[in-house]
Amino acid sequence: MDSASEIQVKQQVRQFYDQVGWQEVGEGVYQNARFEDLRPVSREYIHNCHQRVGRHLSLEGKYFLDAGSGPIQYPEYLEYSIGYQARVCADISIVALQEARQRIGDRENGGHGLFVVADVAHLPFADRAFDGVASLHTIHHLPSSEHQQAYLGLFRVLAESRSAVVVNGWESSSISDIFVGPIKWGRRTRKRITRRLGKGSRASAASKNNAVSTFVNKHNAGWLKSEVGTLMNLDILVWRSVGVRFLKAYIHPNFGGKWLLRQLYWLEESFPHYMGEHGLYPLIILKKS
Ligand SMILES: C[S@@+](CC[C@H](N)C(=O)[O-])C[C@H]1O[C@@H](n2cnc3c(N)ncnc32)[C@H](O)[C@@H]1O
């Protein structure tokens, strides 16, 4: 991808989040939350997975960097920086930062947020400026050629003896494929039948018009180890082994959904490295020592 296309990609991503992703569709709920399972049956599992990020971050420090902060959309996110003097929210979307300010406040009104429009692949901060760094679901919006640079930048701004946490989906997951394969097959079959019955064209045209998403580019564990793991000390654990498609298809309140998720969480806690590499969302720890 040449540099003109890379700039275009970023403009498109920014526009998407400004105009669609960070528009509220309900009280405190953004359009982007359609990528999350907000049902009560999944709440405990989702909450526990969010808590995993905090386990690997220093509890206190001066500056905490949230690279690609969005609006700090979930309450658990606020906890990561409670012990810090300031949380620097950096994002290319101005709407994200305006919303983040509403949530965390700035220093003038007793909050501890600082807000910077910045590109995660070109962080405008000094070396070792942050005692804690998190970048959640953001690097995948960069052109592939900038992923390594983004990891190097997060590592560069991290203080000595501290850790950064990156969460980013893999391009594929053997665990998720086992379960999601039948869902995809069912969907394809339904479409084929509807098309044969002549009912499909209008419905699919309507759903295409409503489709809203933006540029995403993901890698696998092999790429991460060879392109980033050779340059810094990193560890791959699990953040969440399954995605929303799995949750919505297999987890139901009346069919032991909560119990099933407790077993899944137990598996993830028991085999964090395996579930991290083969599940859908790894939790990547960059350690500076
Ligand atoms: C999927 S959202 C995740 C937001 C938040 N970290 C979370 O987990 O809820 C991705 C965020 O990254 C931001 N973003 C995308 N590309 C970026 C870039 N090159 N530099 C900084 N932020 C970026 C988007 O504007 C958006 O707010």
73 in contact with ligand 1, CB cutoff 6 A? yes
Rounded distance between C-alpha atoms, residue 280 and residue 240, angstroms: 7
Q: How confident is the model at residue 199 (pLDDT cuts 50, 70, 90)?
A: low
Testing ligand 1's pocket by substitution, the residue of 36, 53, 92 carrying the most ligand atoms inside 8 A of its CB is: 92
Taking the CA of residue 135 as reference, the ligand 1 atom at the shortest distance is 6
Segment 227-234 mean pLDDT:
97
164 Cβ closer than 6 Å to some ligand 1 atom: no
Q: Identify whether the C-beta of residue 100 lies closer than 8 Å to the C-beta of residue 71.
A: yes
**Among residues of the chain, what percentage have pLDDT more than 90?**
76
Query: Token digits for 240?
Result: 């969440």
pLDDT digits 0-9 by tens, 236-247: 999 999 999 999
CA-nearest residue for atom 19, ligand 1, is 119
**Cβ atoms within 10 Å, residue 289:** 7
DSSP, collapsed to helix, strand or coil, labels residue 52 as: helix
Give me the long-range contacts of 263-266 (CB less than 8 A, separation at least 24): 264/45, 265/45, 265/48, 265/49
Ligand 1 neighbour 84 (Cβ under 6 A): no
pLDDT at 87 over 60: yes
Confidence of residue 108 (pLDDT cuts 50, 70, 90): confident
Q: From the alpha carbon of 167, which atom of ligand 1 is closest?
A: 8
User: Ligand 1 test: best mutation among 91, 97, 119, 168, most atoms within 8 Å of CB?
Assistant: 91
Q: Which residues pair with 65 in a beta bridge?
A: 88, 133
Evaluate whether 38 touches 50 at the Cβ level (below 8 Å). Answer: no
**Relative to the CA of 74, which ligand 1 atom is closest?**
9
What's the CA gap between 263 and 247, in Å, rounded?
A: 14
C-beta 136 within 6 A of ligand 1: yes
- CA distances 2 to 10, 90, 143, 179, Å, are 13, 25, 10, 37
Q: What spacing in Å lies between the alpha carbon of 9 and ligand 1's midpoint? A: 13
Q: Which atom of ligand 1 is nearest to the CA of 73?
A: 9
For residue 119, the CA-to-ligand 1 centroid distance in Å is 9
Q: Find where tokens 């930062």 sit.
A: 97
Q: Which amino acid belongs to residue 178?
A: I
CA 82 to chain centre: 20
> Is the Cα dihedral 207, 208, 213, 216 positive or negative?
positive
Q: Is the CB of 80 under 6 A from ligand 1?
A: no
Ligand 1 center to 196 CA (angstroms): 41
Q: 222 or 192: which carries more pLDDT confidence?
A: 222
Is the C-beta atom of 139 inside 6 A of ligand 1? no
Chain segment 20-52, per-residue pLDDT in tens:
999 998 888 898 888 899 999 999 999 999 999
State CA 11 to chain mean position distance.
19
CB contact at 8 A, 99 and 22? yes
Q: What is the pLDDT, as a whole number, of residue 189?
A: 81
| Ligand 1 atom with minimal separation from the 146 CA | 19
138-142, 155-159, 200-204, 269-273: lowest mean pLDDT where? 200-204
* Measured distance CA(36)–CA(66) in Å, rounded: 20
Which of helix, strand or coil describes residue 10?
A: helix
Closest CA to 135 of 146, 124, 120: 120
Radius of gyration of the chain (CA): 20
CA angle 182, 185, 191 (to 5 degrees): 140
Q: Is the pLDDT of residue 207 over 80?
A: no
**Ligand 1 site-directed mutation target among 3, 7, 14, 141, most atoms within 8 Å of CB:** 141
Question: 111 and 186 in contact (C-beta within 8 Å)?
Answer: no
Check whether 164 has a pLDDT greater than 90. Answer: yes
Is the sign of the CA dihedral 100, 106, 109, 111 positive or negative?
Answer: positive
**CA 37 to centroid of ligand 1, rounded, Å:** 19
